[in-house]
Amino acid sequence: MEELSLSETIEHQRKCREIAATKCSDNIYEQIRVRIVRVMREHGYIEFAAEDLGVSVSTIRRYMRFVPFEHLMRNPSLENRFDWRSMTNRKWVKLLRKHPDMIRHLKSNHTLRADEVLDILLDRPELAPHFDLSEWNRFEDDNYYWSELLIHHPEFADKCDFSTITGYVARNLLIWQPQFFDKIRIDTLWPYHWTDIIRSQPQIEEKMSAKPHCEWPFNYWVHAVQFHPELEDEFDGWDKIEWADAADFKWRQPEMYQRHHLDRIPKWGESTPCEPQNE
């Protein structure tokens, strides 16, 4: 490979820095700092850099005083030399997980998304008072945020509206924190959710067995009959079973599968074949 001349090397480095700056995911303040640092490296003199950029010398000095985010992450004592305007949500998550005391720089008008707050609280639950977790209760179904937080930090249960934790995320929560069973809407659990939950937490099956069978939700019936064939005659929902659950019957209870003609259940997206009509 042919070696580059000094001027060609400098030009190549300049282009690399430009490409790095354009790919930067930071906000405008960090992009300005990166560009000023680049131009200063090219010119070497602050007056020439200011003329090239069309800004004042004082602006150059102010931005050159700022340290990059990576330096702040390594040494939080540099907080007074960091441009806090350059913070993005992604950076806040990264910073607060490592240096929770930096929360004092997070302004009240800077909004983090629910998933970003969750990422922070999973590592730093002590920061919860700085966020309005009641906002999470507005998610109506499959509330992943509450489920995930309570799996790791059940102490926040008093702030949660459990009616929003349904379906698969309810399954996840009960596998890890079965003490919330009485708070969950069990009618939102699918048959395979019940199978997974009881495999991990068999005491929940004991709780269900203690209930009158008339209080069992349909999907629990579908699960229970597969593992307790003595319930077959008591179950009257064979015509409501879906294709995915019928497939489970096929390998767990093949005789039951044939007896109730579960092989006739159409797959999802398919219509039930019409019966031939007599002419």
pLDDT in tens, 131-168: 999 999 999 888 999 999 999 999 999 999 999 999 99
| Rounded average pLDDT over 13-31 | 59
Cβ atoms 165, 143 nearer than 8 A: yes
Residues contacting 42, CB < 8 A, separation 6+: 14, 49
C-alpha to C-alpha distance for 142 and 167, rounded to whole angstroms = 6
- Tokens 């179904």, residue located: 141
* Residues 92-131: tens digit of each pLDDT: 999 999 999 999 999 877 889 999 999 999 999 999 999 9
- Residue 23, pLDDT above cutoff 70: no
CB 131 within 8 A of CB 157: no
Indicate the domain borders of the chain. 9-65, 198-269
For residue 169, which phi and psi values (nearest 5 degrees)? -70, -30
Question: How far apart are the C-alpha atoms of 252 and 244, rounded to whole Å?
Answer: 13
pTM score of the predicted model: 0.77
Contacts of 264 (CB under 8 A, 6+ apart): 272
Report the Cα 127 to chain-centroid distance in Å. 18
The values of phi and psi at residue 203, to 5°, are -65, -20
Cβ burial of 38 (10 Å; 0-12, 13-18, 19+) is middle
Query: What are 47-70's pLDDT values in tens digits?
Result: 888 888 888 888 888 888 888 899
pLDDT at 21: 43
Summarize pLDDT for 222-258 with one digit per residue, the tens: 999 999 999 999 999 999 999 999 999 999 999 999 9
Band (272; pLDDT cuts 50, 70, 90): low
Look up tokens 């850099």; give the residue. 49
